[in-house]
Amino acid sequence: KQEVTQIPAALSVPEGENLVLNCSFTDSAIYNLQWFRQDPGKGLTSLLLIQSSQREQTSGRLNASLDKSSGRSTLYIAASQPGDSATYLCAVRPKYSGGGADGLTFGKGTHLIIQP
Amino acid sequence: SAVISQKPSRDICQRGTSLTIQCQVDSQVTMMFWYRQQPGQSLTLIATANQGSEATYESGFVIDKFPISRPNLTFSTLTVSNMSPEDSSIYLCSVVGQDQKYGYTFGSGTRLTVV
Amino acid identity at A40: P
Determine whether the interchain pair B108/A49 forms a contact, defined as Cβ–Cβ distance below 8 Å.
Answer: no
Query: According to the model, what pLDDT value does residue A95 have?
Result: 78
Query: According to the model, what pLDDT value does residue A99 have?
Result: 47
Determine whether the interchain pair A32/B103 forms a contact, defined as Cβ–Cβ distance below 8 Å.
Answer: yes
Query: According to the model, what pLDDT value does residue B76 have?
Result: 96
Query: According to the model, what pLDDT value does residue B31 have?
Result: 86
Q: What share of chain B in percent tops pLDDT 90?
A: 77
Which residue, among A1, A2, A104, would best test binding to B if mutated, counting the most B CBs under 10 Å from its CB? A104
Does A61 contact B at CB distance below 8 Å?
Answer: no
> Mind telling me how many Å the CA of B39 is from chain A's nearest CA?
10
Q: Report the residue of chain B nearest A44, measured CA to CA.
A: B106
* Residue B90 vs residues A31, A51, A99: alpha-carbon distances, Å: 26, 28, 29
Least CB–CB distance from B107: residue in A43, A46, A107: A43
Query: According to the model, what pLDDT value does residue B97 have?
Result: 74
Mean pLDDT for A94-116 is: 82
Amino acid identity at B8: P
Report the Cα A110 to chain-centroid distance in Å. Answer: 9
Q: Are A62 and A77 within 8 A, CB to CB?
A: yes
Query: According to the model, what pLDDT value does residue B96 have?
Result: 85
Determine whether the interchain pair A44/B92 forms a contact, defined as Cβ–Cβ distance below 8 Å.
Answer: yes
Confidence class for position A51, pLDDT limits 50, 70, 90: very high
Q: Are B29 and B23 within 8 A, CB to CB?
A: no
Residue segments in chain B with a per-residue pLDDT below the cut of 50: none
* Residue B70 vs residues A49, B25, B39: alpha-carbon distances, Å: 27, 12, 27
Q: Which of residues 45-64 of B touch A (CB under 8 A)?
A: 45, 48, 58
Distance CA A100, CA A96 (A): 7
Confidence class for position A96, pLDDT limits 50, 70, 90: low
Does B92 contact A at CB distance below 8 Å?
Answer: yes
Which residue, among B106, B110, B113, would best test binding to A if mutated, counting the most A CBs under 10 Å from its CB? B106
pLDDT at A31 over 60: yes
Q: State the CB neighbour count (10 A cutoff) for residue A33.
A: 27
Distance CA A38, CA A77 (A): 15
Does A86 contact B at CB distance below 8 Å?
Answer: no
Mean pLDDT for A86-100 is: 79
Query: According to the model, what pLDDT value does residue B46 have?
Result: 95
Query: According to the model, what pLDDT value does residue B101 have?
Result: 67
Amino acid identity at A51: Q
Query: According to the model, what pLDDT value does residue A40 have?
Result: 86
Determine whether the interchain pair B106/A36 forms a contact, defined as Cβ–Cβ distance below 8 Å.
Answer: yes
Residue B110's SS3 state is strand
Query: According to the model, what pLDDT value does residue B98 have?
Result: 66
> Mind telling me how many Å the CA of A6 is from chain B's nearest CA?
11
